[in-house]
Structure 1
Amino acid sequence: MGWGALRLYTLLVYGFMFLPVGVVVLLSFNASQFGSFPMTGFSFRWFVELAQNDAILRAFRTSLILGALTALISTTLGVLASLALVRYRVPGENYISTLLIAPILVPEVVLAVALLLFLNFLEVNKSFTLLLLGHVIFTLPFVILVVQARLVSIRRDIEEAAQSLGASPVQTFFQITLPLMMPAVLAGALFAFTISFDDITGTLFWKPGGVETVPTQIFSMLRNSISPEINALGTVMIVMTVGLPLLGLALARALAIRSGG
């Protein structure tokens, strides 16, 4: 009885959490412009209008560019930091590791305000570069945690065997270490892209005027009126933010199986 009640309670909690998401997805296919039940018909009308909305297309383009750059920079820095902290003796490595992970421990709104105030103190204006910097700071810890977990499981003697056979440290990294790390690298990059694409709290503080990402565009549309296009845009966001991590998990698992890990 106790386990049955716990399962029922868990199902009710998850239902309460995800039912609004399901409603948004369902209403995005409603033929009527009024979001109400019962639905008057099934239609892709709002997705078509979404694809013809120039403001939303610009926001998508900005989010894709921002997410791709964030993933590239965070993954590169995360791999280098993980290698330094796991494979080499670095003075104060515990403090450095704590400092790199700290953005996860600090509430995002506090981090956003702190970075904004610091740059205002330096008299640095808002720009796309500032927005990119903020997203890198926020996503870098996730990449480091994923890559470090994979790197710790890679046996050091494999790399030492390659170097004993004449491979340089650079060759060992690109031919031995990096392929073995690739599942974690890809997973970290997808996590960084997804977090950047979905972020709104920090973006509202860091973005310059005239630059909108998809989440801030949705927020701006909600302040004016509730349009059926918002439901369609929300569905696209849900598919991307849920589908990409699942895709990354599948790729990481496939690569881990191929590499024998």
Structure 2
Amino acid sequence: MTMTGNILSGWSLIRAFTVLVYLFMFLPVAVVVLLAFNANQFGSFPMEGFSFRWFVALWNNDAIVRAFKTSLLLGSLTAVTSTTIGVLASLALVRYDFRGKGLITTALIAPILVPEVVLAVALLLFLRWLEMPKSFPLLLLGHVIFTLPFVVLIVQARLVAVRREYEEAALSLGANAFHTFREVTLPLIMPAVFAGIIFAFTISFDDITGTLFWKPGGVETVPTQIFAMLRNSISPEINALGAVMVVVTVAIPLIGAALARRMAAALK
């Protein structure tokens, strides 16, 4: 066998292994989505019919509807807060030099390097040391801490590529720092800002590890509601709820990526 044949054979094995890995990762998700439309209340194959009855049951389940509202509110507040702080922090770290810059950068990125369960336990112990009870604002704080590094990394990568001459030209024409940021810098980094919002919302919406530690009693998000339902039994409603979660967490990043590409193309 020639060297070219060995290379082709090696790439074929890599492609086959890649396909197997993707099947292992996504086939269970596909099964959950498929069983969400099963007319039978027992998740088994072959399916006995196609039905939307479990999605209707979800809509009529007050606990699940409340969990969705909580997740949407928490994800939206997390996205807005993390993006606002992330944009300001990125602007300071990229455009200015000051003492402790490296330490602040490390502190902002550290939550992405620490296992989430360790971060969740550490924050919980810190709150107990401060004798602060669990509450929704503290849950929001935990999500902001966890999602902020993603926003900072995305915005910084875009901001580094923005030439400083644009901002200097605006300043030389009489614009102050705020107007320069609003009229020049922000439009140029808007694709990254939008991507940061999508990342922060999706991560917050899907989070369960930190939420289980930080949430106050009586507050449930969609992931924690699924976890609570699984303690009793695996009902068809869980499959339908899982299918909705898959659609939400896949559709939002895809739509956001498409809009970000359009924004980036419009700036060229």
Within 1, Cα distance between the matches of 2:232 and 2:108?
Answer: 39
Shift of 1:24: 0.3
- Which of these residues, 191, 194, 209, is aligned with residue 186 of structure 1? 194
Shift of 1:90: 2.1
8 A Cα contact 1:75 1:143, kept in partner: yes
What CA deviation, in whole Å up to 9, does each residue of 1:159-179 have, x standing for no partner? 111111111111110001001
Within 2, Cα distance between the matches of 1:233 and 1:28?
Answer: 8
- Which of these residues, 79, 88, 92, is aligned with residue 96 of structure 2? 88
TM-score (norm 1): 0.99
Deviation larger for 92-101 or 210-219: 92-101
Alignment of 1:15-34 (within 5 A): 15-34=23-42
Count of paired positions? 260
- Which of these residues, 31, 47, 71, is aligned with residue 79 of structure 2? 71
Partner SS for 1:125: coil
What CA deviation, in whole Å up to 9, does each residue of 1:54-90 have, x standing for no partner? 0000000000000010001000000000000001112
Which position in structure 1 is the counterpart of 2:160?
152
Partner SS for 2:146: helix
Within 2, Cα distance between the matches of 1:44 and 1:120?
Answer: 45
- Which of these residues, 42, 47, 51, is aligned with residue 43 of structure 1? 51
Within 2, Cα distance between the matches of 1:169 and 1:259?
Answer: 21
- For the aligned residues, what is the CA RMSD? 0.6
Within 1, Cα distance between the matches of 2:129 and 2:175?
Answer: 49
Which position in structure 2 is the counterpart of 1:203?
211
Which position in structure 2 is the counterpart of 1:242?
250
* Residue type of the alignment partner of 1:104: I
Within 2, Cα distance between the matches of 1:247 and 1:117?
Answer: 38
- Which of these residues, 110, 117, 122, is aligned with residue 118 of structure 2? 110
Which position in structure 1 is the counterpart of 2:6?
none
Identity of aligned residues (%): 74
Shift of 1:157: 0.2
Within 2, Cα distance between the matches of 1:224 and 1:179?
Answer: 50
* Residue type of the alignment partner of 2:39: A
8 A Cα contact 1:84 1:90, kept in partner: no
Within 2, Cα distance between the matches of 1:21 and 1:56?
Answer: 20
Runs of 4+ in 1 over 3 A off after TM superposition: none
Within 2, Cα distance between the matches of 1:250 and 1:132?
Answer: 28
Q: Specify every segment of 5 or more residues in structure 1 that has no aligned partner in the other structure, as ranges.
A: none
Which position in structure 1 is the counterpart of 2:240?
232
Within 1, Cα distance between the matches of 2:53 and 2:195?
Answer: 34
Is it true that 1:177 corresponds to 2:153 in the alignment?
no
Q: Specify every segment of 5 or more residues in structure 2 that has no aligned partner in the other structure, as ranges.
A: 1-8
